Amino acid sequence: MAKSIPIYEIIRRPVSTEKTTYMTDVNNQYVFEVHPRANKIQVREAVEIIFDVDVANVAVMNMPAKRGWRGRRRYIRKSAWKKAVVTIEAGQKIPLFEA
């Protein structure tokens, strides 16, 4: 049996860009960086408990590492990470994104 991830370590940080702001306003979707081993069920439970909202859908995706060149050598300038797009029920909001 795999070790379970503590609920407050599943969500690492919110992702705030122009696209995620648009997604929040139009589609009621919020984007988070999550623990690399977290699955959809764990992300859903964490968002529902931490932010006290009802989650309608969760999409999880792995974002690849960004590579760069230094002379003739390749190197990794940003490591890989996992992203979750969480859709919440209509009429609810997460106050963290309202700033």
* CATH (domain of 86): 3.30.70.330
Whole domain around residue 26: which residue ranges? 7-90
Q: What is the pLDDT of residue 95?
A: 87
Q: What is the pLDDT of residue 57?
A: 97
Q: pLDDT tens digits, residue range 20-54?
A: 999 999 999 999 999 999 999 999 999 999 999 99
On whether the pTM is more than 0.75, the answer is: yes
Q: How far apart are the first and last CA of the chain?
A: 41
Q: Is residue 97 part of a domain?
A: no
Q: Is residue 23 part of a domain?
A: yes
- Assigned token pair, 72: 């003739």
Distance CA 40, CA 57 (A): 9
- Assigned token pair, 50: 């931490």
Q: Is residue 1 part of a domain?
A: no
